[in-house]
Amino acid sequence: MSAGQRSRRAWGWHPLTDSWAARIVADAGIRRGDLVLDIGAGTGALTGPLLATGARVIAIELHPGRAAHLRERFAGRSLSVVEADAATLRLPGRPFHVVANPPYHLTSTLLRALFAPNSRLIGADLVLQRQAVRRFVERRAPGKRRWDLSFGRPLPRHAFRPPPQVDSAVLVIRTRGGLKAFPPNT
């Protein structure tokens, strides 16, 4: 591998297996017509099940080859592919959901954007490092009073290819109201 090339692991890209991606989408409760962002869409592990719900999906993917793959794989479906860096993402001006497996190093940047005062976020299911999920749920920082944060489905390392070297879980974010939460140690 040349100095200019990096492995998926070095990029921090750990795609979900199809079966785990389907579980995460099912847990999110996405409905037909919902606008959903798939941030760090990769090759579409979450994108496919999201489209199967009848949602309108915006897949955000920085890597040009993976973005082209998404366009080809899901041609003719209710999908827009945006080649953009999730760190500088501009969020929709209308209500939206997020179901994503973003690069772990972007967790804080992404959450700041989602929790911005003008955000139209309805809910999010984010695959993150388990420790980060625990920290965000326990901290419940001021300024996030519009949303409930809970510990979602824990993910074993074999839920990814290649497996990450850290434990993962879903951070569930919902506007004030009904939540579905999983206990942190299941």
Q: How many CB atoms lie within 10 A of CB 97?
A: 24
- Produce one character per residue of 100-138: b if its CB has 16 or more CB atoms within 10 Å, e if not: bbbbbebbebbbebbbeeebebbbbbbbbbbebbbebbe
Residue entry with tokens 């206990």: 183
Of 122, 137, 121, the residue nearest 169 (C-alpha):
137
Q: How many CB atoms lie within 10 A of CB 11?
A: 12
**Annotation: binding site:** 14, 16, 40, 61, 85, 101
Report the C-alpha gap between 161 and 106 in whole angstroms: 19
How is residue 114 written in tokens?
């989602």
Report the C-alpha gap between 72 and 81 in whole angstroms: 10
**Annotation: binding site for S-adenosyl-L-methionine:** 14, 16, 40, 61, 85, 101
